Amino acid sequence: MLKPTLLFICSWFLILSGIAQQSQTVGNPISDPNQPIAWPEAKRVEIQRATEEFIKLQLSQKPKLSITSSTTKSKILAGGCTVHASFTPGNDTVWSGSPISFTNTSQNADSYEWLVDVYNQYTSPDLLNFVPSVGVTPVMLVAHQGNCTDTALTYVIRNGIPPTDIKRTHVTYGLPNSNEWVSCMAADKTDGYLLAGVSGDYDQNGNNSPYFVRVSETGCILWSILLPRQPKCFISKVLATYDGGFIAQVVLTYNIDKSYLLKLDKNGNILWTRSYTGTNPLNVVTNIKELSDHSLMVMSGPWSGKNLLLTSLTETGTFLWQKLYLFNNDDYGRFTDLVEQSGFLYLSASYYQLLDANLNKWNQFPMLFKVDATNGNLQWWKGYSSPNKYYTSSGINFYKGGLILNGFADSMINVASNKWSNYQSLLETDLDGNLRNAKLIMNPYELDAQIGNNVFVDENNNLEIFFSGSEVLDLQPYISYQSYYMRLDANKNILWQRLYTGYTNQQLVQAVQSPQKGMAMIGQGLNSTLNPFYGFSENLLMIKVDSNGKGTDLFCGEFDSYSTVQDLPVVPYSPGTPVVTNSILQVMDQQVNGFNPNSELRYLCPDYVPTCSFLKLAGKNFVCNLKDTLEFVAHKDPTCADPVTWTYDLNNTKMTFQDGNRLRLLFKTPGKYTVLATKPFPCTNMHDSIVVTVAPTLLNFYLGNDTTLCSGDSLVLRPVGKYDQYLWQDGSILDSFKVKTAGEYHLMVTDSCGNTKADTIQVTYQSNIPIDLGPPRNICPTDKILINPPGQYASYDWEPKYNMMTPTTGDGVIVFPAIDTIYTLTVKNYAGCKGTGKLAFHIYPTQKPLLGNDTAICYGNHVFFTVNGGVFESFAWSDGETSRSIDIQSAGSYSVVATDYNQCQTSDTVSLTVYPLPSVHIAGETIICKDQKTILDAGMGFATYTWQDGSQSEQFMASDTGYYRVRVTDTHQCANADSVHITDFAQGPRNFLPDDTVICNYGEYLIQANGNFVLYTWNTGESTSSIKVKSAGMYTLQVEDGLGCHGTDSIIVTTKDCDALLSFPNAFTPNNDGINDVFRLRYPGRAQNYQLEIFNRWGQLMFRSSDPYAGWNGLYQNQPQPLGTYVWMVKFTDRNGKNQMMKGTVELIR
């Protein structure tokens, strides 16, 4: 199979060969095939340049040729000559399939020049055996007689072969003699499409006009609109709305803040145009979606593109809210698409995370967001990264109860050259953003750059996928544009796939679904429109394919493709937690006016120009003599019986002839007039117009408006423009007239064509204006004086501008001179006459009251403020006092207004700061431990400390009872004092351990301290209230009570060999004094099966225990038992295994 890119290059030479053949057929009639082509040098260079531009895919805009009329009479020049150009057949012709021969019937000509489709030039008398290409070909004969010329023009129409299936078409759209550059498209809600781009310049980066073409499903043009020309503008997005209209954004690159949203109704009328400014303006829109309530959701960002920005507008463009989702200021992000369900939006986004600024290392990956549709509140967000890939997201759809995101994932294919190739990606998740799977569609040819990407899901979860890009080639034209269209089943198996590439399919940028489940794709095409060659230019190209991806034929660049589906490794990834903030936008209405141009179309593969789609108006656009009649010819397809309707100025023109497609007019007065021809067409009316300039030298003739001069002034009257004759009211014939007196002045001029025009001006005079501002004034230095000028005038000028301000109302000024000053007012009335007045001000000497510097005191003190300096008559203090001095204790600002003997008032202000006294409190105990010291603390942060004994530290060590006092000062030297009284000594803890005791050498003993203490320190290192010991020795405990007093006590524990020897005391005193409070076994020994029972004198059981270490505390059922004798009995098993029993009595003593 021939690789599409190679076939693409080869097709270039076929196209160029076809152009050459067409030129040869036109230039060399079939009757004389050996006649050489007589290319003029300029034409040869032009064709060579055009051919080179063909190869580079950048054909520049063609030169324009002004064609005036089909039978235009030449002007009789000085010396007299008449030449008349004509030929037969002279009427517009529809090609019948046979060559056409044009016979020259011109009169009084000595040379001829045939121009066929502008670029083809021949000098033979007749044009023989002409075979036109498909389209509308202008054929012009220029007849020469010396310097005199006349032209005759006709059109040859060859319609071509119409398309047989509207589901499979190639159609190119554009304007004559212009380049159109594609932007985007939208499918109408009911029928057809809106195509969008820019029109006018050599490339899309020049000065262009936003351009919209509304077409039907059959490809017919319904309407088109062209907006004002701007440098480097483009259309970022178009959207079809529920009412049959469209929303579009126009981006103005060099005036970015004036970029605007535009609403068109279904007929192409502009309903509103609005710009949005603020912290995050809508100057570049990524996507716009219409929600179920018809509001608009705008996915965009500022020109920098650094933010994930979502903006809600009403259907009329009114601002509702804006949310910014910001992860990191160094990163970039943009929303790309959304779907809506149950009040929530699911948004796809592409995110660019900076990993290493020094290495310029980035991570690029898709993200998914869920937000509340009513307010933009974020529900959750997810990110997805693929190893070693730059991974982007272009769109989102509901799919299998979840979501599917489409985009590009590019892989490195050449490490040495850092070359990457872009592949279509599909990422599937559930409605919570959890990853299901990801796929990669591997292209047979590398895409070096991404262009378009659209995915559509049908009711069976089949996927229709469009994506496009460019491939860099080693040979001319050095770049190939490739567009892929394929269908995948619900398991993402490819059912069929197509590749579109080639010269006429330069680049396809977007696809939308067509009603028959096919697809319509918009792109850039380098094709002809109506004119076969002169109309060759960059145009908007729409390709429609059916539900099997079939277009027209191979020669339009359609091929089978061999892409494969592979698994794409993807892992969850997040750049962090976004900060969500609200923004406000200001909405500014823009005034944008469009007009309806003559858009043209051509079907391709095969070529076809629709019948009756052609209307060209020919005629002169200039006439000098008002007696000359101009003829206008509406050229159209002669097979169309539709009449031509003429529109022109009925008041200033006279129609002398009209026969349907011809019109002759006589213009009555100089000016610019539009002659419009309109013809019905199945889709929309066709029209063409010519703007005629009549007697141009008289157009701007004007003496000026009536005027008023000031006394002594003069005026030179001189009309605009140059004329052959001048005649003033006094008979003078100069080109100017000097006015010195009031009156009416009249001038009639005659131009070179003999046309005359007159104008009159009225001149009046006005006397000088007296201005009286009043006598000189004496004022105080602080006075502000309002000066109101007498009368109302056109302008006021005050000098000098020294110490002057303008009030909010009126024509006066407010002055406040500090020195003697004379102010001068110059006024002008509405006739320009002046008047002058003066006003002098004398300033009394300044006397300044002096209160001294601001001061500060400590609380409880006072200060005197006294006015010093100057001679004053009275004083007015801010606190109401009227004496020269005031006595102040409170903090604040105190001002005085002093009035001198000229009644001038001056003032001074002084501030008093009152510092609070330092707050001091002695912290410490009022009871001291016996034989110990306590610390008294006056607190930190004071400048000085002085205790009762003269010591100057923050703390004082007290060892006795009595009164203790400290005086402190702060940094402001304010002082305060405090005292404390230590009233008594506290006795430290003592006798808190039990008596010395003896334990068996195999047993253990619990030493428990009596009483509650704050701190316990045993000589064993333990810090609990009790310890268990097993060995003999002295055990010492130091404690600290709640007053901080310390105490020490000891117990001596001795051990003995207790081999099953049980010993009980004969008395105990359960009074809780810590001494002999419990009756129990003294030396438990190695007794087994131990059981102790105690009975009162009546035999009632008081106590029972099997624990050798337990004892009776004299309680029974928590009640103290009476004094007396109690019987005890113990049972146990000795070490020989023999059961033993012992009995005895014990006295309970209290």
Half-sphere exposure (Cβ direction) of 291: Cα atoms closer than 13 Å: 23
CATH number for 641: 2.60.40.10
Residue 9 pLDDT class (50, 70, 90 cuts): very low
CA proximity to 688, closest of 698, 678, 702: 678
Pick 911 or 517 by higher pLDDT.
Answer: 911
**pLDDT exceeds cutoff 60 at 1059:** no
**Per-residue pLDDT tens digits for 631-665:** 999 998 888 878 899 999 999 999 999 988 899 99
Query: Residue holding tokens 């108006």?
Result: 617
Structure tokens at 789: 């000028």
**Among 1061, 1049, 1089, residue whose Cα is nearest residue 998:** 1061
| Structure tokens given for 548 | 């099997």
If you ran DSSP here, which 8-state letter would residue 126 be given? S
The reported pLDDT for the residue numbered 59 is 31
Based on the fold, state whether residues 324 and 237 are members of the same structural domain: yes
Per-residue tokens: 262: 């535009």
Instruction: DSSP letter for 1010, please.
Output: S
Please check whether residue 442 lies inside any domain of the structure: no
For the beta carbon of residue 226, count every other beta carbon within 10 angstroms. Answer: 20
CA-based nearest residue to 452, from 493, 491, 424, 418: 424
pLDDT band at 506 (very low <50, low <70, confident <90, very high): low
Cβ contact 953:1010 at 8 Å: no
In 3D space, the residue among 283, 385, 397, 287 whose CA is nearest the CA of residue 336 turns out to be 287
Rounded percentage of the chain residues whose pLDDT exceeds 90 = 47
| Each residue's pLDDT tens digit, 657-691 | 998 889 999 998 888 999 999 988 777 788 899 99
- Over residues 399-429, the pLDDT tens digits come to 999 999 999 888 655 555 556 678 889 999 9
pTM of the model: 0.61
Q: What local confidence, expressed as pLDDT, does residue 18 receive?
A: 37
Residue 550 in domain = no
Which residue range is the domain that position 798 belongs to? Answer: 777-843
Query: Is 299 within a domain?
Result: yes
Question: Given the structure tokens 């034989």, which residue do they identify?
Answer: 931
Return the SS3 of 994: coil
Domain boundary among the residues 140, 158, 176 is at 158
Q: Which of 341-345, 415-419, 496-500, 712-716 has the lowest mean pLDDT?
A: 415-419
DSSP 8-state symbol, 371: E
Residue 340 pairs with which residues in a beta bridge? Answer: 345
pLDDT of residue 1001: 73
Kindly report the backbone phi and psi dihedral angles of residue 252, in degrees, each rounded to the nearest multiple of 5, phi listed first: -105, 100
Domain assignment present for residue 978? The answer is yes
**803 assigned to some structural domain:** yes
- In tens, the pLDDT along 531-570 reads 887 778 889 999 999 988 888 865 677 888 899 999 999 9
What pLDDT is attached to residue 375? 95
Last residue of a domain, one of 158, 187, 219: 158
Regarding whether 286 and 358 lie in a shared domain, the answer is: yes
Residues 299/309, Cβ–Cβ less than 8 Å: yes
Tens digit of pLDDT for each residue in 349-399? 999 898 888 888 888 899 999 999 999 999 999 999 988 788 889 999 999
Q: Tell me the average pLDDT of the chain.
A: 85
1066 and 1140 both lie in a single domain: yes
Burial 890-925 (b: 16+ CB within 10 A, else e): eeeebebebbbeeebbbebebebebbebbebebebe
Indicate if 839 and 973 belong to the same structural domain. Answer: no
Of 927, 729, 714, nearest to 832 by C-alpha is: 714
Do both 703 and 619 map to the same domain? no
Tell me 190's DSSP state: S
pLDDT tens for residues 308-320?
A: 999 999 999 999 9
pLDDT digits (tens, 9 = 90+) for 1062-1094: 778 899 999 888 788 899 887 666 668 889 999
Handedness of CA 718, 721, 722, 724 (dihedral sign): negative
**CATH code, domain with 1067:** 2.60.40.1930
Residues near 223 by Cβ (< 8 Å), separated by ≥ 6? 214, 267, 268, 596, 684
Cα 860 to Cα 783: distance, rounded to the nearest angstrom: 41
Is the same domain home to 8 and 153? yes
Q: CA quadruple 939, 940, 941, 943: dihedral positive or negative?
A: positive
622 and 585 in a common domain: no
Same domain (yes/no): 679, 817: no
CA torsion sign for 870, 875, 876, 879 is positive
Of 58-72, 261-275, 431-445, the one with minimum mean pLDDT is: 58-72
Asked if residue 705 and residue 685 are part of one domain, the reply reads: no
Residues 742, 713 share a domain? yes
- Closest alpha carbon to 636 in 4, 154, 28, 41: 154
Does some domain include residue 272? yes
Bond before 1108 cis per omega within 30 degrees: no
| Mean pLDDT confidence for 9-27 | 36
Residues 690 and 712 grouped into a single domain? no
- Within a domain: residue 261? yes
pLDDT (tens digit, 9 = 90+) per residue, 20-67?
A: 333 333 333 333 322 333 333 343 334 334 333 433 333 333 333 333
Q: What is the pLDDT of residue 505?
A: 55
For 1010-1052, how does the pLDDT look when each residue is reduced to its tens digit (9 = 90+)? Answer: 888 889 999 999 999 899 888 889 999 898 888 788 888 899 9
List alpha helices for 922-1079, DSSP H.
none
The CA distance from 255 to 231, in Å, is 9
Q: Please report the pLDDT score of residue 821 as a whole number.
A: 93
119-147 in b/e form (b: 16+ CB < 10 A) is bbbbebebbbbbbbbbbbbbbbbbbbbee
CB contact burial 195-212 (16+ within 10 A = b; e otherwise): bbbbbbbeebebebbbbb
Query: What's the residue count for the chain?
Result: 1150
Element (H, E) at 219: none
Shared domain for 784 and 757, answered yes or no, is: no
Residue 70 has pLDDT above 70, yes or no: no
The alpha carbon torsion through 928, 931, 932, 938 (nearest 10 deg) reads 50
Higher pLDDT, 606 or 246: 246
Tens-digit pLDDT profile for residues 188-227: 988 899 999 999 866 556 788 999 999 999 899 999 999 9
Q: Report the SS3 class of residue 312.
A: strand
Which pLDDT value is given to residue 301?
61
Q: How many CB atoms are closer than 10 A to CB 470? A: 18
Confidence of residue 790 (pLDDT cuts 50, 70, 90): confident
d(CA 196, CA 594): 14
- In this structure, is residue 183 part of a structural domain? no
166 conformational bin, left if phi > 0, alpha if psi -120 to 50, beta if neither: alpha
> Out of 29-33, 497-501, 775-779, which region has the weakest mean confidence (pLDDT)?
29-33
Looking at the structure of the chain, the number of domains it has is 8
Backbone Cα Rg of the chain: 54
Please identify which residue in the block is written with the tokens 């200001």. Answer: 586
Domain final residue, candidates 843, 867, 887: 843
HSE-CB at 526 with a 13 A cutoff on CA atoms is 23
pLDDT of 275 higher than 60: yes
